[in-house]
Structure 1
Amino acid sequence: MKFDLESMIDIPEPTDLSALELADLRARRSELEEVENGLSYARRMVQGRLDTLAIELERRRSGTGDEVRMVSRLPRALADRTRSEGVPRPPAVLEPPAWADEIVSEVDEYLTPTQKADLPSIDDVELSEVIEQIAQVERKLSEARHSLHSRIDRIQEEIIGRYRSGAPVDDLLR
């Protein structure tokens, strides 16, 4: 993968969050949330590609050659699956950053446009290799998101702790 996710999520964070002003905590949380939004978008797009190829491979292995069944499964594979387990986050409609599209474009380079238009023409070995490459990208994106969620949650806990311990309510409105 050309994209270096480690450097992308390497946003400095002090070990002692209590030393930061509330405005700084909010700014850091917002910065991390913006990166998470981009990673989330890229991951959903990558999962759609992965699911589509996995359906094709499953169709082949079933031996039925039933393209109609494969096509009927695509809406479910490509459905909006933005909710995951864990702490629920409010849904937000945000424009993903340009670098998220670049990650997706990089994954799209694993197959030529002609191959994508004619999946049955790709041999099983090549299809399996492409699926594994895309799955590796998806795993890296998932790991990066998990890391960001932990950091966002730590900052959020610090903010909540301050309000519980008597931070001015006026700060809530800023």
Structure 2
Amino acid sequence: MTDVTRRAERRLDRVLAADLDLSGLGTAELRERRGEAIAEEADLSYLRRLLHGRIDIITAELRGRAAGDASPLIDRLTEILADQPAPRQASARHLPVGGVSVGEYRLEMEAALAEIDLPDLDSCTAARLTEVADRLTRHEQEISALRRTVQHVVDAYAAELARRYRAGEARVDELLA
């Protein structure tokens, strides 16, 4: 299988290539595509959180060094990795936690991230930590942009499904059959 063929088969590529003129899709196919897009969004969200954690750890180490804080990083992990309140109110989106297969993009990105060693923070120079944080930040920006695009696809599918239910073109009891 060529790399081009493999890329065309990635779930992310299928989601991003989706034609959002959804009028020609049957409701079952629409639901299936929405499910695939939701699964991809969950993968991208997971990768973002993974990257944020690594970036936060490195940033905390650099800040601690700059402030002369010699306390072990491990003692500060809970504080470092705790979620801060969101600066703006956003609607929550249900993302599946398990039971959905992991997408190929996530597997590829996890492999790429494994190649970016999170260095031994105690023995690493500030310059090296900054370099690693910058690489991780670039990956996070790429993933965030992809995630926003996937969210638009999910929203388009959801809006079309909602329109069909309101118009009577689809029925909830079809889901139970």
TM-score (norm 2): 0.77
Hey, what's the Cα distance between the residues in 1 that align with 2:70 and 2:151?
42
* Residue identity (%): 32
Structure 1 gaps of 5+ residues are none
* Structure 2 residue 122 is the aligned partner of structure 1 residue 120: yes
2:105 is the counterpart of 1:103 = no
Cα-to-partner distance string for 1:95-117 (whole Å, 9 max, x where unaligned): 561742542342232226xxx3x
Structure-to-structure mapping, 1:2-21, within 5 angstroms: 9-11=12-14, 12-21=17-26
Corresponding position of 1:144: 146
How many Å separate the matches in 1 of 2:141 and 2:131?
15
Distance in 1 (CA, whole Å) between partners of 2:38 and 2:103 is 15
In structure 1, what is the Cα distance between the partners aligned to 2:141 and 2:20?
Answer: 27
Matches of 1:101 and 1:75, distance apart in 2: 27
The alignment status of 1:90 with 2:94, answered yes or no, reads yes
Letter in 2 for 1:63: G
Decide which of 51, 54, 57 is 1:49's aligned counterpart: 54
CA contact (8 A) 1:37 1:94 kept: no
Residue in 2 that maps onto 1:135: 137
> What SS class does the counterpart of residue 70 from structure 2 fall into?
coil
2:56–2:80: 8 Å Cα contact kept in structure 1?
A: yes
Aligned residues: 162
CA distance in 2, matches of 1:76, 1:29: 36
**How far, CA to CA, are the matches of 1:59 and 1:92 in structure 2?**
36
* Aligned: 1:31 with 2:32: no
Root mean square deviation of aligned Cα: 2.7
